[in-house]
Structure 1
């Protein structure tokens, strides 16, 4: 068990790591032609940059956040002021602070771009006047992870509450069970890292232990160590809604690949080519897991390789940033990333307040 001060350091590092990753990719976001990316930003992006004219986020400045960062801030404020996850409070903030700034088109709203799942929820709330709970769509992307990572930090030591709150919040915008299960799995992993665990080949065993004791809503298909069931064995206990625990097993496979001397992705930013550059959750999570394991003690390398891989590098950097920040702590994040981040003091204060709730319950 780590000390309360180290827990707080990891919790703050996780939140600030997400904000930093989001802002670092604001300029070079969504370049699928890597030669075009290198032409506009050089061979290696090592800090905050302005978006180029005519590109995504045009008009914003280096160090600012995208809409993902805006919504993560809403979530943080809700968790802090409501002293935990309160769906009614979060939805009120979305209705009052985000939706009035949108018009239903992609190139609109805070950050200059609104994702599909948020546009769908906006349409159902504003145009169809549907209640929250009937607003979820089928986008296979990571928007829910980008905001529920704060829930994972808040309930890092309470995995059952973590899973329930993340599930409830995810289905407000995305209802596909596979997406929901992968989102909950990411949060459960982040919670373990806040507790002091490492992003290594054993981490999935720890997640599966939480399944076996009924804390995570997955069920085990096989026996211990993935051994096949024997004739006459009873059906494994089913703790909840997710039919398969495979989303919990992915992190250890990525960590094993990162530590295997016979497996090398060189340079590491080419993880985007191995696992895929697009936005879907099944492209983004393996890359983030790999980078946050490979550079588990080197925040700068982790997030910069995530950014330099192109494609949907904003999510890749945001998720890598939160996982790596949870391992190195706030004390392990280079100060230059805070100095260039807009409203860094305000964001860090929010993160520290949330972290105090983690430590003190």
Structure 2
């Protein structure tokens, strides 16, 4: 089945992020491309049941033993949390969001799964406090990919200036990642997605957002955009495939610039290994929004992929609320 979904670009961005994350979960944090290639030949790449034997004897970390194919990583859960927050409240409210974050990811909350370092440190800050005492910057000094996870909903719901978007992104990122590099990476990715939603091509948007990337990230992304052809393996070898934004954002930009469609982008992202779920949030958002813009609101998210994402109905309901605001 090769059917794609007709979606308004803002909705496509959000669902592209969520579906991409779930598609990547089965091989998340497997750092051996040769092993991934072997698995691809026998089982494929997307929506695989997490299996410890796939990680045996090679570089990787098996974190999702209690999850099922179609579940989300913590990144996808964070993306959905922000979507539901904005859909419920009409806009972003910091203290309410911090409370929802603590209630969901903290002890006794609805989230079940691996807790990464930024999440753990953020919870350690929030758990002892009353909501009225929550700090403006509750996040860890950490540049990992939790910093980008909430962006699709933030950007999709944004109707102000680019400068206002950058300020909002900084506020949101510092709640989980109180780190200048993380903020700059999020502002770059957010401005690129906004430009796509405003009608720019992926190449124009990814290049045009470079002034927002900061002095550490900008030259890396610029290099990643200049290869002239899709070579995700070379990009991963050059920039890295781990959880840090200085590694992953150039890889995202490279794939988004040269991949022909959403399916190709997500599969290439999985093939190179490492923090595929972390990269998939903004990669999926950018590719889905761009293809929806280019193809008369037909995003190239495969229909059969969307159907396998376990929280599709929850996300779809929140997107309907978002569109009516």
Which TM bucket (shorter chain)? 0.7 to 0.9
Equivalent residue for 2:269, pick from 291, 302, 306: 306
Distance change in 2, residues 1:320/1:45 (3 Å): farther
Shift of 1:40: 4.6
1:336 and 2:304 are equivalent in the alignment: yes
Aligned to 2:56: none
Distance (whole Å) between structure 1 residues aligned to residue 78 and residue 168 of structure 2:
16
**Residue 114 of structure 1 aligns with which residue?**
115
Question: CA contact under 8 A between 1:44 and 1:308: conserved in structure 2?
Answer: no
Give 1:293 deviation, angstroms: 1.0
Give SS of 2:66's match. coil
Deviations 1:190-222 (A, max 9, x none): 1111111111157534675xxxxxxxxx6xxxx
Distance 1:127 1:113, change over 3 A: same
When residues 246 and 155 of structure 1 are mapped into structure 2, their CA distance, relative to the original with a 3 A threshold, is farther
CA contact (8 A) 1:72 1:146 kept: yes
Give the Å deviation of 1:187: 0.8
Distance 1:276 1:122, change over 3 A: same
Report if the CA contact (8 A) 1:307-1:316 is conserved. Answer: no
Q: What is the aligned counterpart of 1:178 among 175, 178, 181?
A: 181
Residue 126 (1) aligns with residue 127 (2): yes
The reply on whether 1:57 has 2:72 as its aligned counterpart is no
Residue in structure 2 matched with residue 106 of structure 1 by the alignment: none
| Alignment partner, residue 225 of structure 2 | 255
Query: Which residue of 2 is the match for residue 324 of structure 1?
Result: 287
Aligned equivalent of 1:279:
243
Q: Which residue of 1 aligns with 2:150?
A: 147
Shift of 1:276: 0.8
Measure how far apart 1:181 and its partner are: 1.5
Q: Which runs of 5+ in 2 are unaligned?
A: 1-5, 54-61
State the 1:112 CA deviation: 1.6
Aligned-pair CA distance for 1:301:
0.4
Aligned-partner SS, 2:273: coil
The normalised TM-score by structure 2 is 0.83
SS of the counterpart of 1:323? helix
Tell me the C-alpha RMSD between the 2 structures.
2.8
Provide closer, same or farther for how the CA distance between residues 269 and 348 of structure 1 changes in structure 2, counting only shifts above 3 A. Answer: farther
Query: Structure 2: how far apart are the matches of 1:99 and 1:200?
Result: 39
Contact 1:28 1:41 in 2 (8 A): no
Compared with structure 1, are the counterparts of its residues 149 and 35 closer, same or farther at alpha carbon in structure 2 (3 Å cutoff)?
Answer: same
In the alignment, the residues of structure 1 paired with residue 88 and residue 230 of structure 2 have an alpha-carbon distance, to the nearest angstrom, of 45
The separation in 2 between residues aligned to 1:60 and 1:202, in whole angstroms, is 35
Q: Residue 58 of structure 2 aligns with which residue?
A: none
- Residues matched between the structures, number: 305
Q: Which deviations, in whole Å up to 9, do the C-alpha atoms of 1:160-180 show, x marking residues without a partner?
A: 221111111111122221221
Q: Which string of whole-angstrom CA distances, capped at 9 and with x for unpartnered residues, describes residues 219-253 of structure 1?
A: xxxxxxxxxxxxxxxxxxxxxxx9x5675676555
Contact persistence 1:16–1:347 (CA under 8 A): yes
Partners of 2:84 and 2:318 within 8 A in 1: yes
Change (3 A) 1:136 1:10: same
The equivalent residue for 1:214 is none
Matching residue of 1:350: 318
- Residues 147, 186 of structure 2: 8 Å contact kept: yes
| Distance across 2 between alignment mates of 1:44 and 1:290 | 26
Greater Rg over alpha carbons, structure: 1
Alignment partners' CA distance in 1, 2:105 and 2:306? 25
